[in-house]
Amino acid sequence: MGQEFLNESQNNMKPLFILIIALSFTLTVFGQQDSTISAVHYKTQHFDCAIFPSSSWALVFGQKRFTPNKQDIDTAETALKVQLQCLNTPQINQGGDCPVIHKNLRKYSRQYFGYVDSAGHRILYINCVWKSDDSYKNFTKSFIDVMDGCSFYWHVRFDLDAHKLFDLYVNGRA
């Protein structure tokens, strides 16, 4: 009976052991990568942004990523000024205590990540954070992901090849 109990206990421990190893690996890999992200801080009188390198793991959209350059950012920033209001017509999660994003564009810092979509288009993922928020302090170090917070946090994509903003998402209200 003692040997049977020992064998059964060992069999029950195998899945737990595998889970512990998998979790340890995941935490080690992603924990180390977060500290290696270094974005280029690009600031003008009109905008303040962080340009993340293609090696950034924060947002893996596909197998092919690229590091946006300042010209790419300038093009996207022009599109934000020109196209955002139309894209933001329904003004979801905006108004009241939450800012209308296209009217307050200068009050957001932005994080830029580049990837190539399945059609071969170069896409910029633009993550926007209200400048007076505490998370703004680290916006050049890692991807800022906030749940809720209404229009203090939002993101949009920009197709560099088609010169078009799309996929606007404004955080929900808590």
Q: What is the pLDDT of residue 174?
A: 74
pLDDT in tens, 111-138: 999 999 999 999 999 999 999 867 677 8
The model carries a pTM of 0.77
Domain ranges within the chain, ordered by starting residue: 1-36, 40-170
pLDDT value, residue 141: 87
Give the pLDDT confidence of 146-160 residue by residue, as tens digits: 889 999 999 999 999
pLDDT of residue 135: 64
User: Is pLDDT above 70 for 2?
Assistant: no
Alpha-carbon distances, residue 85 vs 91, 104, 128, 164, 165 (angstroms):
9, 11, 15, 13, 11
Per-residue tokens: 80: 């934000």
